[in-house]
Chains A and B, each alone.
Chain A
């Protein structure tokens, strides 16, 4: 642009003689200045934008560190009061200032693992059904979407349904087998949890099973293996770590689930004597007692429970994610 402007100036006679400033020249000069200004503005905006997104990414790190730090700082009081014995102290009595988390840790482990135990056959069946037997078609697609909807239903609704429907059923079942017919308890919460966590292991397992190389399966078929034999000796060993990751993610969900469990577990601070007895999980104790905690040590003891829950779920989730990543690469 600049050179053509100069050429025009030279070839026009009036410019050579008297350096007459034409309107065209002014226009071009103004344009040039505007252009420079604009590009300066753009560069500035570009820098601001780059810095903003870096700050935002930094903020996620700060957020997670902040969460961890808050939990640690707020539970210091309880750690000082109860020490490490907090984890296996068997009584939880806020009135006498005795805080032992063992009943809740036991309750959490019982409900989560029982739920996992019930849900695994179902979620693996879905995974194998969608990954191997019927990967395409409208019916499998419908099944896939429906199973994913299980995860979409709010947990408070599961809890309400459990309270209204599942508790009476469990109660009559308990009368039949001859234990105290409470209805509320570890068993009922495990059933609800089992339904809720099916989709996590199922959808991950399904995508893992789809990634098994076809030539491996074909080799097994060509040796005369039946479909079941291919699944057992090719697909399952190949996807072992992926399926395990799915189980871990399900477990992580089950450990942290609060509302549905709170509504049907019965909420007692006693150690559950059997799986049909009422109990409490770490998450449900926090939900029930947090707003009632009337002195600092009590509140701090509840936060320490939250810290334990946070650390356990974070570790389980990170292992699960790591395994998934290893598998997909």
Chain B
């Protein structure tokens, strides 16, 4: 009797723990769903053609839009991608081709470090490297800061994708007499393009919502601007500035902008997941 009740107690404990685990695991999702629903509810009604094509109105006037932030975000992210994508892919190629060299060890270490650097610190550094020498806040310095944040993700995904390709592929290309750069550019990269692309998309999704590095680089601008050497507004900056302001009109703009940003970032993430699943690439 004693032994039997003991077993029952142990089984009960096991079941109890399982139930607790399941409960806690699904509880994690609750805040995310709350946030999604809240932001979409608060923001979706604000979004219309007027919202996308107009500039923000001064306090006290209803209406207005976020055209400057949308354009600014696109330009800043575009410039960051132009800087980071070739650089990141080339570095990933080096790391996958030279697994054991000393430089590869140090480079890998630095990529690890870069991944952990707080975004605000990157903002400080970009301030001293670009804002001060150029004599003022500029969209370009913001792009540079974001490019630094994109690098580790692109490098890592490129390296890991290329390492997964079988060596026979490379050897077959060399056996045909192809030179090194053509083997890489015409054989290896096309084979791993889905993994590399998903890394690039993931990095874009990551930086699209970054605010901290833009605070003292792109700085923000209430007007429409396409000049990368001048301050520029971006969606996250606009959300931060308007959300912390005391005016309800500005809060409305910030909700609309949050909704656009959130949907963009989530769609990009989900799209990346679908690609990786389709091509059976593990990141």
List the interface of chain A (C-beta within 8 A of B).
42-43, 45-46, 48-50, 52-54, 56-61, 63-64, 66-67, 70-71, 74, 121-123, 125-126, 128-130, 133, 143, 145-150, 152-161, 163-165, 195, 198, 202, 226-229, 231, 252, 255-259, 263, 283, 286-287, 290-291, 303, 306, 309-310, 313-314, 316-318, 321
B29 touches A125 (CB 8 A): no
A157 touches B209 (CB 8 A): yes
Checking B17, B24, B254 against A231 with a beta-carbon cut-off of 8 angstroms, the contacting residue is: B17
Residues of A within 8 A of B53 (CB): none
Checking A121, A156, A287 against B24 with a beta-carbon cut-off of 8 angstroms, the contacting residue is: A121
Chain B count of residues within 8 A CB distance of the other chain: 89
Smallest distance from the beta carbon of B32 to chain A beta carbons, Å?
Answer: 5
- B:105-146 near A, CB below 8 Å: 106-107, 109-125, 127-129
Is B184 an interface residue, CB under 8 A from the partner?
A: yes
In the A-B complex, the 10 residue pairs with the smallest Cβ-Cβ separation, listed nearest first, are: A154-B209, A256-B118, A317-B116, A125-B24, A49-B181, A226-B14, A228-B14, A129-B25, A53-B94, A258-B212
Interface of B is mostly: helix
A159 touches B243 (CB 8 A): yes
Residues of B within 8 A of A290 (CB): 123-124, 127, 215-216
Is B239 an interface residue, CB under 8 A from the partner?
A: yes
Interface of A is mostly: helix
Residues of B within 8 A of A148 (CB): 269
A selection of 15 A-B contacts at a CB cut-off of 8 Å is A48-B181, A57-B95, A57-B107, A60-B155, A122-B25, A129-B21, A129-B25, A149-B266, A153-B32, A154-B208, A228-B13, A259-B240, A287-B120, A309-B120, A309-B121
Q: Which residue of B lies closest to A316 (CB)?
A: B116
B111 touches A318 (CB 8 A): no
Checking A67, A126, A149 against B117 with a beta-carbon cut-off of 8 angstroms, the contacting residue is: A67
Checking A59, A165, A226, A291 against B87 with a beta-carbon cut-off of 8 angstroms, the contacting residue is: A59
A45-B179, A121-B24, A286-B124 given; A263·B205 CB < 8 A: no
B262 touches A157 (CB 8 A): yes
Residues of B within 8 A of A56 (CB): 87, 90-91, 94
